[in-house]
Chains A and B, each alone.
Chain A
């Protein structure tokens, strides 16, 4: 990958250490530990309600952990008197006052952190809100425009570490491409980029590393390649007029067989070569024999299946 040549050890490290947050009887985040390194984009994945936002808020010093620590460059963010030059963040695009113009909003933030005023115009241009849109009140913005303003806010202090919570929400396809390019570039510059999402597909083309959580607990923290490998337990689709006999034969060989319809079986635990041999040994006619490699999405679903907080359909 192109960013391999870029510096990886200069930017700050985001460290989450045995982080726990309890609200009354519910535990939003439990004993969560992971490290986010500079120079690459780290995806923060989990189903809705997994504790991503709570974790990011603890990282920013907005929410006090019940126990454990979340640090940026070795310090909790509350230790920095001014934050924008240390860590930039887009938490929720709605975290603005709708009565102010984008320019006034950024101008006040810049001033509070002693960031020169010309930086406001720079970031507005960078996110595509320069000119007339910047002078409009944020209340009239579309979600996509608010996301862009949120990204501008995160970039304002030119920080070495950046956090984005669901930044792709509400963006059009062009906007999604632009944001991905931006994350790549920020990471390429040696910054620490941490991006949350509940959709694996969003991370597929964006992240190098993944932190996956479910129900407030760590599920996986590894590279995207390693993560993808988890999902490559292939499923073989096999179609035969005598599905019952084949299913019995395959089960006898130790495969997991799931009938799909009257003629079709979904088989895991055996290669397509071996399934072909078994069918041949039993003199069974095969009409289809195909291997499906699980996608990242499937790997993610499989991994988080036990930790999905809100499931449509069946009550849990």
Chain B
């Protein structure tokens, strides 16, 4: 070879290369496989067990419950506990995709190879969001199919075409990428694994239950959290169900979707911008 040229031709920088690289990085970690696999099993089992309990108890339910059983059936399709597991799994995967780079030092190798850090982080955001959307769709879809199949044993299963059913599945599925991006954004800001985990759990799981909806401003905070947005989106009989009270500051389905979108977008922007100028 001559001194001035390298043996390899110099191709244009393409964003798809970064997507492919980030995909390789995500799938080549065994811990990711374990976390996602165990999480999916836990979530699906949790939901199916809720349906099983309703199947067993159904003969003992009163008339009012039976007439409003749609609420129960769709609640079993993706329970609150399962949603918490999904939040935990998704935010952890999002966080480790960037914190793992910082804690191991890999981030220096990565940024030396791709000095265009914004492009790299955008690729990471896209890959994490895409993988977690598929993951959410799988867990929510499988949960729906299994729980309704169990409830079909009492003739109470709901079809996906039923009004509101698809919304339950889609909102539950999208909870995964929203929380994964939140984890990624927080991870990019904090860059330490333990602190990131604590913040993730605090913001995504504790705050939604701690913040009261008694005052307007706290209700605003509460309703702006992704977990509460999910809760609103899957509450198909919101305002019509005889067993629950409508809160003083009610929320809408549209509001829920906006919260999802805003969190995803804000987290993505933070992830891309936060790493750009900081020394590694």
Q: What secondary structure prevails in chain A residues at the interface with B?
A: loop
Counting CB contacts under 8 A, is A61 at the interface?
A: yes
Please name the residue on chain B nearest to A110 by beta carbon: B21
Shortest distance between the CB of B252 and any CB in chain A (Å): 42
Known: A100-B29, A104-B28, A160-B6. A81 touches B119 (CB 8 A): yes
B63 at the interface (CB under 8 A from A): no
**One of B10-18, B224-232, B253-261 contacting the partner:** B10-18
Residues of B within 8 A of A274 (CB): none
**B25 close to A108 (CB less than 8 A):** yes
Decide yes or no: A99 and B31 within 8 Å by CB, A108-B25, A111-B17, A160-B6 being known contacts.
Answer: yes
Contact in complex: B3, A38 (CB < 8 Å): yes
| Residue in A57, A83, A96, A100 whose beta carbon sits within 8 Å of that of B113 in the complex | A83
Shortest Cβ gap from B69 to chain A (Å): 46
Q: Enumerate B125-171 residues with CB–CB distance to A below 8 Å.
A: none
Per-position 1/0 for A90-109, Cβ under 8 A of B: 01101111111100110111
Distance between Cα atoms of A89 and B109 in the complex (Å): 8
Bound together, the chains give a CA A184 to CA B109 distance in angstroms of 24
User: 29 interchain pairs (CB within 8 A)?
Assistant: A10-B4, A62-B108, A81-B115, A82-B116, A83-B112, A85-B8, A87-B112, A91-B108, A91-B109, A92-B105, A95-B104, A95-B105, A96-B105, A96-B106, A97-B106, A99-B29, A99-B31, A101-B28, A104-B28, A111-B21, A113-B17, A114-B14, A158-B8, A160-B3, A160-B4, A190-B2, A190-B3, A190-B4, A191-B3
Judge if A112 is at the interface, Cβ distance under 8 Å: yes
B198 within 8 A of A: no
The yes or no answer to B114 lying at the interface (CB within 8 A) is yes
Stretch at the interface among A72-80, A174-182, A209-217: A72-80
The distance in angstroms between the C-alpha atoms of A240 and B56, with both chains bound, is 107
- B6 engages A158 (CB within 8 Å): yes
Chain B residues positioned under 8 Å from A84 (CB to CB): 112-113
B:71-123 near A, CB below 8 Å: 100-101, 104-116, 119-120
Check A10 against B3 for contact (C-beta < 8 Å).
yes
B residues within 8 Å of A by Cβ? Answer: 1-8, 10-11, 13-14, 17-18, 20-22, 24-25, 28-31, 100-101, 104-116, 119-120, 277, 279-280
Give, as a whole number of angstroms, the nearest-CB distance from B187 to chain A: 14
Q: Is A60 an interface residue (CB 8 A)?
A: yes
Known: A82-B114, A159-B6. 4 other contacts (CB 8 A): A10-B3, A80-B115, A96-B105, A112-B113
Contacts of B115 in A (CB 8 A): 60-61, 77-83
Residue of A nearest to B26 (CB): A108
Question: What is the bound-complex CA distance between A295 and B280, given in angstroms?
Answer: 37
Contact count band on A: 35 or more
A99-B31, A109-B21, A114-B17 given; A81·B116 CB < 8 A:
yes
Q: When chains A and B are docked, how far (Å) is the Cα of A38 from the Cα of B1?
A: 14
Give A88 Cβ to nearest chain B Cβ, in Å: 9
Q: Give the CA-CA distance A53 to B34 in the complex, in Å.
A: 36
Digitize A48-59: 1 where CB-to-B-CB distance is under 8 Å, 0 elsewhere: 000000000100
CB < 8 Å: which of A91, A98, A112 contacts B17?
A112
For residue B105, which residues in chain A have a CB less than 8 angstroms away from its CB? Answer: 92, 94-96
Report the Cα distance A135→B261, complex, angstroms.
Answer: 40
B277, closest chain A residue (CB) = A64
Closest Cβ–Cβ distance, residue B275 to chain A (whole Å): 11
* CA A185 to CA B31, docked complex, whole Å: 40
Q: Which residues of A contact B106 (CB under 8 A)?
A: 95-97
A115 within 8 A of B: yes
Closest chain A residue to B1, Cβ basis: A189
Is B17 within 8 A of A92, CB to CB?
A: no
Q: A305 an interface residue at 8 Å Cβ cutoff?
A: no
Given known contacts A83-B112, A95-B109, A112-B18, A7 and B8 CB-to-CB distance under 8 angstroms? no
Would you give the shortest CB distance from B113 to chain A, in whole angstroms?
Answer: 5
A7-27: CB near B (< 8 Å → 1, else 0) gives 111110000000000000000
The residue on A at minimum CB distance from B15 is A81
7 nearest interchain CB pairs? A10-B3, A190-B3, A112-B21, A81-B13, A104-B28, A95-B105, A10-B4
Q: Smallest CB–CB gap between A313 and chain B, Å?
A: 32
